[in-house]
Structure 1
Amino acid sequence: MKRKTYKDLVAEIAPQIKECFPWDVEERMNKGDDLLFLDVREAHEYDTMHIEGSLHVPRGILETAVEWDHEETEPELVKARNRQIVVVCRSGSRSVFATYTLMQMGYKYVTSLKTGLRGWNEYDLPLVDMEGNVVDPEVGDRYFANKLLDFQRKPADWVEPE
């Protein structure tokens, strides 16, 4: 089996799901659509800033959160199989995987936010902190900026193992 990268996996799954941009979501909100925002980022990311009223279920527990009888069960999400759900993450990649999983588990109206919360913030849509205070978009810009550390970069002499 040929090794695939993270980007390969996202590109493979993305055509099989629905994606929307922040301005599409804003239009749906303005029309009065009853949207459930599902944030699949890690807890520390969610705690820093998120869409007000969004439901937080980290991607790592998603499969058990959507079914009854698990410690991770999230009743609101279990009951939302026929609701319009917009899945969000930082950049729009983890939400692709989560959207695909939800579709496989019987969710009918689920969409991934293309560009993620980074794009949401760039479009000047509101984010709040844990106390419900609106986050300044410039603070969001700094938070969502790429923070790759030197040791995380691929070395120039790196050879992929076979």
Structure 2
Amino acid sequence: MTRESYKTLAEKAAGQVMELMPWDLEAAMRENAGLLVLDVRERSEFEAFHIKGSMNVPRGILEAACEWDYAETEPELVQARQRPVVVVCRSGNRSALAAMVMGIIGYENVASLKLGIKGWNDSDMPLVDCRGVGVDADDAAHLIEPKLAREQIDPVRRK
């Protein structure tokens, strides 16, 4: 088996799924009350800020959440196979992979938010916290782009 990087996997997935720009998602949310916005970031990321009305299912439990008979089962998500679903993450990588997998397991109308919540925030679209309170775009920007620790950086590129 050939080794592929996370970046390469995400790029390949993005090439296989429909991607929406932030302003396209905003329009789709206005025009389609049945649209499900699925945020696959970790719970702590989601609680800090998210798109109002979105559902949080972390990427690590997505497949089980999409099926009946698992502790992670999310009934609304299981029943959304014919609904339009837009998957969201921080940058568009996890969401592209998630959208691809969802297509494989039977979701008929699934897309990924290109540029992720970062692109949404950069486009000045509204975000709320876990209490439903609006989050300032500048405050969100600092959390969206966490600083990497030295040991997280590829040794070849460390300065």
TM-score interval w.r.t. the shorter chain? over 0.9
Deviation, 1:157, is 8.2
> Alignment partner of 2:37: what SS?
strand
C-alpha distance in structure 1 between counterparts of 2:157 and 2:69, whole Å: 49
Match in the other structure for 1:16:
16
CA separation in 2, counterparts of 1:148 and 1:72? Answer: 30
Which residue pairs with 1:149 in the alignment? 149
- Give the fraction of aligned pairs with identical amino acids, expressed as a percent: 49
Inter-partner Cα distance in structure 2 for 1:147 and 1:88 = 21
- Are residues 21 and 157 of structure 1, via their aligned partners in 2, closer, same or farther at CA, if it must alter by over 3 Å? closer
Report the equivalent of 1:27.
Answer: 27
Instruction: Flag structure 1 segments of 5+ consecutive residues without an equivalent.
Output: none
CA distance in 1 between counterparts of 2:124 and 2:15 reads 27
Structure 2 counterparts to residues 128-139 of structure 1, below 5 A: 128-139=128-139
Structure 1 range deviating more: 83-92 or 143-152: 143-152
Q: Which position in structure 2 is the counterpart of 1:77?
A: 77
Q: What TM-score does the superposition give when structure 2 sets the normalisation length? A: 0.93
The alignment covers a number of residue pairs equal to 158
- C-alpha RMSD of the superposition: 1.5
Q: Give SS of 1:110's match.
A: strand
Map of 1:119 onto structure 2 = 119
Structure 1 moving runs of 4+ over 3 Å: none
Match of 1:2 in 2: 2
The one-letter amino acid paired with 2:27 is E
1:64 corresponds in structure 2 to 64
Moved more, 122-131 or 140-149: 140-149
| Structure number with bigger Rg | 1
Q: Which moved more, 1:114-123 or 1:30-39?
A: 30-39
Per-residue CA shift, 1:62-82, capped at 9, x if unaligned?
111111111110000011001
